[in-house]
């Protein structure tokens, strides 16, 4: 389990009424939405992903989430983001979802983006500006 200091970028995410399920906590599918939100907010904010007209787009090739504690509405969580592996056309992000003021995550997982040409949908090398933005989030694997 990673602590907050293992992540390079944080985004506060406010849970919504609809996020809770009948058991009174955020439903598992919403965690993946939080993963998408922290990743794409970072890329768009860094000016390296144009979701409407960019020549290169990221598609999800793999994702995983380990649930370690409950999150519930109304609550604001801190979504931590790091890059764990950077390839020629792909990146593996590490994500931690932290309850406010908690040092360890309520959930953590990974998400793999493969960057493809918008038209052909074939993998394409990461553009230099995108690679630079991702390198800034890189955290070397723990031994």
pLDDT tens string 110-129 = 999 999 999 999 999 999 99
- Residue at 63 is within a domain: yes
- Residue at 101 is within a domain: yes
- Residue at 65 is within a domain: yes
- Residue at 142 is within a domain: no
* Cα distance between residue 90 and residue 12, in whole Å: 25
pLDDT band at 101 (very low <50, low <70, confident <90, very high): confident
pLDDT band at 141 (very low <50, low <70, confident <90, very high): confident
- Residue at 143 is within a domain: no
Number of structural domains found in the chain = 1
- Residue at 59 is within a domain: yes
pLDDT tens string 18-59 = 999 999 999 999 999 999 999 999 999 999 999 999 999 999
| CATH number of 116's domain | 3.10.129.10
Q: What pLDDT does 4 receive?
A: 94
Q: What pLDDT does 143 receive?
A: 54
- Residue at 67 is within a domain: yes
Domain span at residue 56 reads 4-135
Both tokens of 16, joined, read 């919504």
Query: In the chain, at which residue ranges do the beta strands (DSSP E only) sit?
Result: 9-14, 56-67, 76-86, 90-99, 107-117
What mean pLDDT is reported for the chain?
96
Q: What is the pTM of this model?
A: 0.95
Helices (H) and strands (E) in the chain, counts: 2, 5
- Residue at 42 is within a domain: yes
pLDDT band at 61 (very low <50, low <70, confident <90, very high): very high
* Cα distance between residue 72 and residue 15, in whole Å: 7
Give the CA diameter of the chain: 46
């Amino acid at each position: 389990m990673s602590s907050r200091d293992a992540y390079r970028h944080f985004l506060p995410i406010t849970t919504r009424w609809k996020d809770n399920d009948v058991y009174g906590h955020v439903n598992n599918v919403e965690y993946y939405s939080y993963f998408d939100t922290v990743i794409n907010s970072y890329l768009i904010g860094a000016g390296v992903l144009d979701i409407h007209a960019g020549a290169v787009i990221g598609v999800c090739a793999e994702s995983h989430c380990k649930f370690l504690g409950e999150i519930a509405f109304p609550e604001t969580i801190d979504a931590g983001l790091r890059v764990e592996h950077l390839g020629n056309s792909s990146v593996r992000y590490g994500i931690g979802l932290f309850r406010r003021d908690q040092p360890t995550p309520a959930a953590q997982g990974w998400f793999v983006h493969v960057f493809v040409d918008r038209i052909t949908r074939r993998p394409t090398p990461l553009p230099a500006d995108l690679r630079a933005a991702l390198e800034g989030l890189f955290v070397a694997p723990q031994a």
